[in-house]
Structure 1
Amino acid sequence: MKTTMYNSGNYYTRKNYRFIDSNPVGLILNLLWVYICYEVCRLCFLFENWNLFSANMSWSTFFHITLGGFRFDTSAIFYTNAIVILLYLFPLHFKETRWFQMLTKWLYIIINSIAIFANLADSVFFEFRKHRSSMALFQEFQGDNNIGGIVGVEIASHWYFVVIAALMIFFLWKCYRFPGTPVKPRKRYYITQIVTLLLIAPIAICGMRGNTFMTATRPISVNYAHKFVTEPIQTGIVLNTPFSMIRTVNQIAVQTPRLFESEEELEAVYSPLHLPSDSLTLRKKNIVIFIVESFAQEFVGALNKDLDNGTYKGYTPFTDSLLQQSLYFDQTFANGGFSIDAIPSVLASIPRMDRPFVLSPHSLNHINSLASELKNMGYSTAFFHGADNESLGFNAFVKQAGVEKYFGKNEFVADSRFGGMKEFDGKWGIWDEPFLQFFCAELSELPQPFMASVFTLSSHHPFAVPEKYKDVFVDEGLHKLHKCIRYADYSIKRFFESARKQPWFDNTIFIITADHASSKRTHDVYMGEVGGFRVPIIIYDPSGELPRGRQPGIMQQMDIMPTMLNYVGYDRPYIAFGKDVLNTPAEETWAFNWDFYPQFFKGDYVMRMENGRDISEIYNYREDPLLKNNLKDKLPGNIQQDMYTEMCAIIQSYMDRMNADNVSVK
């Protein structure tokens, strides 16, 4: 029987009420109409920019991209319609009144009309920017008095988009479903409405995140679009403009120093463009990189022989023994303070610049990386992380970086050789020891030469070790993390025991570093902002071709890429913001990081800026590790000015290149 709406007093209700007429079903249908509009906008976007995508676009490719785009559409739709959802499900009976329901409908139409116009407008401007618009757009056109005229011209020349937008808005208006839940009996009404809201609220939150709390620790970002494409430019099809805008709120690029008026002046001081030297030695060495969770320099006994009056042993007996056969530098630093900073720094020589690269407005840029460049030399590449495959968005970034294979918890569990879910730690992922054995086994399956990296996880809160090791790696009273560091060190030892038996071992360079230092510091020398970035960077070459022992100078995470590329004899130009430490004089080595403020290390000194422009502090961090004595304007000669000039050059070069999407050599 036909169900109709009628106005009973001030209330909307329905004759012959059915479940299909209920508020939840009405809301779902109203959101479904918006999904349809987003997909229409995606098709418009594709056809408007067909010349950019046609070479590598097929129906199967578009279908895969659309499935990926559903995640981003969901996030945008639930964010933009949050107030509509709340009003629609508001657990008070007056929401059934005519004025309230018309208010909700008008908000629904206005909000989604804006989203439609934003998506269609980006279909036009994408050709010029090659990526979806972000909040940086408002900074880019700030003070441009001609923007209104530009928009007017584009509207006139793309009149068909205006027609399409009008048709979609009319579609939303006509298809909108009013809620029609009976308000009597009141007790039943309030119970069902409250229960409905409580059930839909977590679904809405997961929709905004683009994932569930169980599969990922943070919401998806614009960078996550790389997971669903084969070429970076295709991220424009996956994404939608409302999502890109929402996810880049408060991410407008900071004002940075501009000491150099011309590119020539800037590059005379600093350039991230690396050119092959005239005398290259081809060495097709395998490269294996360990990024060990919270593996601070403080924990490595062999790097702290003077601590506790020479009695300090640390928590890493195997790493201590490996260090005696390895190359390492006098001072080594992380380029960021978070796990998501480490992967771009280590694999792509991209530092954190006031925010994580993967969360910045530049995260869709074309980049060079160890993987993308070594591919030109015939290397196979892989990345391993024992957590859920969605965790931290690593799988999206490493795909952007050109890594061919990703191995996470899913792949480990599917391999029956290593214990499957029995090795799940119950919180983050697979225990380090079995996962590193899996890592070793999979390396043996990769075609040589290969470059592979593994990110460990057991030395993370809640600081547990497997049951069978609880009496082996015990809580030593300082912090529970220390027993986890011992377990991580033991797991690396077990990896090397297995790796030494493999035919590829002697032709491999192993690098051990951390994602970041630890907050669980116990010695004064590691307190403060300098100690908070100290991580080991250990380079072990079983063949003995690399020099061994402590070398003078400074090394940072983003030096790994250019150092390794030059060492294996890479013969093409590439972009890397770090340096080749094997061919840079010790006095010219430096490190840079930016957490709360930019810091620049060179020689004995660390310089800080305030507001990203002005020198605030300079310290002799070797003699004054707690940074008590500010030496600003007190250094001899030109040390202060030279450091400031070089620091400004690094920041300006980074921002200029990132803003222009000029951080790769194709």
Structure 2
Amino acid sequence: MCKSVNLQTIICKFAVNFIFYTYMNVGQKPGWRVSLLFFVSLFAYWLVLSFVDRAAFVLSFRYKIEDVQDIAYAFLYGLRLDFSLAAYLMALPFLFFIIQQLWLQRGVSPWLLRVYVMLPTFLFAAITIANLPLYESWGEKVSKRALTLGLDTIGGVSSSVDAGMLLQAALMLTIYFVVAHYFYHWVVVKRAKYTSQSLKSTVILFVLGALALFTFIRGGYGRATLNQSAVYFSDDNTANHAAVNTYWSFLKDLTKSTKKSPYQFMSEEEAKAIVGDSLLYDRDSVINVLKTDRPNVILVILEGVVAQVFADLGGEKDITPKMTTLMREGVNFTQAYAAADRSDKGMIAVLSGFPSQGPESIIKYIPKHEKLPAVGQVFDSLGYATSFYHGGQSEFYNFKSFMLTHGIDKVVDNANFPINAQRNSWGVYDHLVAKRLLNSLKKEKKPFFSIFYTLVNHEPFDLSPSYAFGNKTKADAYRSTTFYTDTMLFNFIEEAKQQDWYENTIVVVTSDHGHVYPTEKYGLDRPERYHIPLFVFGGALKEEYRGKKVDEVVSQLDIASTLAGFVQEKTMRFKYSQDLFALRRKHLAFYNSNAAFGVINNEGAVSYDMLKRNISYSTFPKDSVDHREKLIHVAKAYYQTVFNDFLKY
């Protein structure tokens, strides 16, 4: 860990001592001391709100912080961003004060100050209560991406809310507003009094005040302006996230432009050359593992199911025994990794073979995602019956528009089921959707390509009538909904096996993304967070490939080219995707979150923190520096190219 106290931290400590000294020595003298005391009081008000938010974060995620001393360090190091936020919020009152002294020369309505303080206070309260459940699920703090996705999918957000979250929010709001109310009225209001002062005092206060605000806003006078990484102090990212001021970080993120890539590491020519070499594979080396070149294809995308719930993937026992049986009937890719941490990115990764774009999500931009290629178009062009089945709202994350503009003729979702159908907070239960899908496939007169996207395993993990592993903790509830998903899918396949068309059918099962549960110990920079199931089975699979394990690294992105390969389409349209059954290919998987990215190969994994601008995790030994640096250089080139492609669409 690194906890050396730098110059800016010393300045913050000095400022705290200065504030205390001012309070103790101002006395009752009019003039500049009274004005200064008001500004110190208002400045302290914003610091108190930041303190409450950080305290709420620490209390909620104390179990994730390895060293208890890091909690104190988080409050200490976080002062830099706390002071910066307070200085930003002081700029307007400070400017008004100068105008008041030089021109108005009289007191004004106290409501001006009250309204000015209330607006950020209510905004910050909303950010605080939104941040806690978001961090628990996503492993990152509230951001512009979370806001835009939330506004676009309000129904989905409300579906994730449970009674525990509402209780937590109510308690947090009560504490927050009690502290804010009494500090404002007992400390700030009592000192918000107009006192005239000399021109000389006003000018001196203006110069010193402007200098102080500029210093705190910028965070010092080095070449680099203040950013979140300035308060990072530990190799424990949860402790670092505690130090980051939630409000400062969120407001800063709102100002970021989506028209400029955050991944600018090298020339575009160098990046393209590296990526081209890394993803180049021999399409003529693809093995034909199917008995037919016109199979029926069922693609099952499981909501948030991770490798850690599969015994055959090194995870826990007894959670997915029936899917494990299905795994052993076909080809099981034991080292498959998701492209990202959320459903919106996972869907694009699977169906378009397009990687995650970090802080962005191409599916929310309809004009952009319409230009992406997708496997549905391949099957549609061959005259297949194409469909998408999901128990939730297909408008969620623009899934419906994506399906309909990419060769999927039939979209069945929550609206297509009767009002009395069994539902949880997200929509119709998966077993009912599976039954509807099966009945539909029985009637098909031509080859079909059908996507079945599950939902019960989505937070808040609602399940009826019972939880196989209980629901005392989120992790147990997750195990229970995964067990339900396991049973549901197995029953669906067992019924499918009774149909005439099954002998001509290939089934691909994967997950849309990884998850923090059930282990709750892997951060977004760790490859384990993205380790997912990926297996292929069915009547159309040749006998010699049944029961086969592939222990080399593959990516969720590779599904797109593989599905196209099943119907002998050796397409070049999925540039980031390699066929899973190519003999001569690169075994690489890239993963990405809002503030980190990483790459995995057969030798190990390495990840890069975008805030700290350095390697945050590596499985390579210390004497393999060159190997590690070379691999992360490939990842840098990869995401630079990906984001540039995103901008061009």
TM-score class, shorter-chain normalisation, is: 0.5 to 0.7
| Structure 1, 542-551 or 609-618: larger mean CA deviation | 609-618
RMSD: 3.7
Preserved contact between residue 348 and residue 576 of structure 1 (Cα < 8 Å):
no
Secondary structure, aligned partner of 2:300: strand
Q: What residue in structure 1 maps to residue 496 of structure 2?
A: 499
Alignment pair present for 1:650 and 2:647? no
Distance in 2 of aligned mates of 1:554 and 1:563: 15
Deviation, structure 1 residue 397:
2.0
Q: What residue in structure 1 maps to residue 517 of structure 2?
A: 520
Alignment pair present for 1:335 and 2:343? no
Of 345, 348, 369, the residue aligned with 2:374 is 369
Of 266, 270, 283, the residue aligned with 1:258 is 266
- CA-to-aligned-CA distance 1:258-294 (integer Å, 9 cap, x gap): 345379845652458x896499967111221111122
Preserved contact between residue 384 and residue 448 of structure 2 (Cα < 8 Å):
yes
Q: Superposed, which structure 2 residues align to 1:512-591 within 5 Å?
A: 512-522=509-519, 529-545=526-542, 546=545, 548-585=547-584, 588-591=586-589
Deviation, structure 1 residue 498:
1.6
Distance in 1 of aligned mates of 2:376 and 2:646: 20
**Measured at CA, do residues 549 and 450 of structure 1 come closer, stay the same or move farther in structure 2, by a change above 3 Å?**
same
Secondary structure, aligned partner of 1:550: strand
Secondary structure, aligned partner of 2:590: strand
Secondary structure, aligned partner of 1:315: coil
Paired AA for residue 338 in structure 2: A
**Measured at CA, do residues 527 and 574 of structure 1 come closer, stay the same or move farther in structure 2, by a change above 3 Å?**
closer
Preserved contact between residue 215 and residue 388 of structure 1 (Cα < 8 Å):
no
Distance in 1 of aligned mates of 2:470 and 2:154: 34
Paired AA for residue 373 in structure 2: N
**Measured at CA, do residues 212 and 512 of structure 1 come closer, stay the same or move farther in structure 2, by a change above 3 Å?**
closer
Preserved contact between residue 369 and residue 402 of structure 2 (Cα < 8 Å):
no
**Measured at CA, do residues 376 and 299 of structure 1 come closer, stay the same or move farther in structure 2, by a change above 3 Å?**
same
Secondary structure, aligned partner of 1:438: helix
Deviation, structure 1 residue 429:
0.6
Distance in 1 of aligned mates of 2:286 and 2:351: 25
Distance in 2 of aligned mates of 1:427 and 1:280: 43
- CA-to-aligned-CA distance 1:290-313 (integer Å, 9 cap, x gap): 111221111122322xx6xxxx52
Distance in 1 of aligned mates of 2:385 and 2:612: 42
Secondary structure, aligned partner of 2:577: coil
**Measured at CA, do residues 656 and 446 of structure 1 come closer, stay the same or move farther in structure 2, by a change above 3 Å?**
farther
Q: What residue in structure 1 maps to residue 312 of structure 2?
A: 302
**Measured at CA, do residues 213 and 433 of structure 1 come closer, stay the same or move farther in structure 2, by a change above 3 Å?**
closer
Deviation, structure 1 residue 344:
0.3
Preserved contact between residue 287 and residue 583 of structure 2 (Cα < 8 Å):
no
**Measured at CA, do residues 214 and 280 of structure 1 come closer, stay the same or move farther in structure 2, by a change above 3 Å?**
closer
Alignment pair present for 1:289 and 2:299? yes
Secondary structure, aligned partner of 1:512: strand
Secondary structure, aligned partner of 2:332: strand
Deviation, structure 1 residue 211:
7.8
Paired AA for residue 408 in structure 1: D
Q: What residue in structure 2 maps to residue 170 of structure 1?
A: none
Distance in 2 of aligned mates of 1:491 and 1:372: 29
Distance in 2 of aligned mates of 1:427 and 1:322: 29
Alignment pair present for 1:378 and 2:383? yes
Deviation, structure 1 residue 645:
4.3
Alignment pair present for 1:455 and 2:453? yes
Paired AA for residue 351 in structure 2: L
Deviation, structure 1 residue 525:
8.0
Q: What residue in structure 2 maps to residue 320 of structure 1?
A: 324
Distance in 2 of aligned mates of 1:649 and 1:558: 17
Secondary structure, aligned partner of 1:479: helix
Q: What residue in structure 2 maps to residue 599 of structure 1?
A: 598
**Measured at CA, do residues 603 and 361 of structure 1 come closer, stay the same or move farther in structure 2, by a change above 3 Å?**
farther
| Structure 1, 603-612 or 530-539: larger mean CA deviation | 603-612
- Say how many residue pairs are matched: 402
Preserved contact between residue 589 and residue 599 of structure 2 (Cα < 8 Å):
yes
Preserved contact between residue 300 and residue 453 of structure 2 (Cα < 8 Å):
yes
Paired AA for residue 452 in structure 1: S
Deviation, structure 1 residue 523:
7.7
Q: Superposed, which structure 2 residues align to 1:379-528 within 5 Å?
A: 379-411=384-416, 413=417, 420-467=418-465, 470=466, 474-475=470-471, 479-522=476-519
Q: Superposed, which structure 2 residues align to 1:109-128 within 5 Å?
A: none
Distance in 1 of aligned mates of 2:153 and 2:276: 46
Q: What residue in structure 2 maps to residue 358 of structure 1?
A: 363
Secondary structure, aligned partner of 1:573: coil
Deviation, structure 1 residue 600:
0.8
**Measured at CA, do residues 351 and 496 of structure 1 come closer, stay the same or move farther in structure 2, by a change above 3 Å?**
same
Distance in 1 of aligned mates of 2:502 and 2:442: 10
Preserved contact between residue 424 and residue 462 of structure 2 (Cα < 8 Å):
no
Q: What residue in structure 2 maps to residue 178 of structure 1?
A: none
Report the TM-score when normalising by structure 1. Answer: 0.54
Deviation, structure 1 residue 436:
0.9
Preserved contact between residue 338 and residue 513 of structure 2 (Cα < 8 Å):
yes
Preserved contact between residue 215 and residue 390 of structure 1 (Cα < 8 Å):
no
Distance in 2 of aligned mates of 1:335 and 1:342: 6
Deviation, structure 1 residue 524:
6.0
Paired AA for residue 651 in structure 1: Y
Report the TM-score when normalising by structure 2. Answer: 0.55
Deviation, structure 1 residue 324:
1.4
Alignment pair present for 1:635 and 2:644? no
Deviation, structure 1 residue 395:
0.8
Preserved contact between residue 348 and residue 401 of structure 1 (Cα < 8 Å):
no
Structure 1: tracts of 5 or more residues without a match: 1-134, 136-204, 219-245, 414-419, 621-629, 662-666
Percent identical residues: 16
**Measured at CA, do residues 440 and 475 of structure 1 come closer, stay the same or move farther in structure 2, by a change above 3 Å?**
same
Distance in 2 of aligned mates of 1:650 and 1:361: 24
**Measured at CA, do residues 213 and 387 of structure 1 come closer, stay the same or move farther in structure 2, by a change above 3 Å?**
closer
- CA-to-aligned-CA distance 1:14-47 (integer Å, 9 cap, x gap): xxxxxxxxxxxxxxxxxxxxxxxxxxxxxxxxxx
Preserved contact between residue 385 and residue 446 of structure 2 (Cα < 8 Å):
yes
Deviation, structure 1 residue 528:
6.7
- CA-to-aligned-CA distance 1:34-69 (integer Å, 9 cap, x gap): xxxxxxxxxxxxxxxxxxxxxxxxxxxxxxxxxxxx
**Measured at CA, do residues 507 and 562 of structure 1 come closer, stay the same or move farther in structure 2, by a change above 3 Å?**
same
- CA-to-aligned-CA distance 1:565-591 (integer Å, 9 cap, x gap): 1233114432341211211447x2110
Distance in 1 of aligned mates of 2:460 and 2:609: 35
Preserved contact between residue 328 and residue 550 of structure 1 (Cα < 8 Å):
yes
**Measured at CA, do residues 616 and 436 of structure 1 come closer, stay the same or move farther in structure 2, by a change above 3 Å?**
same
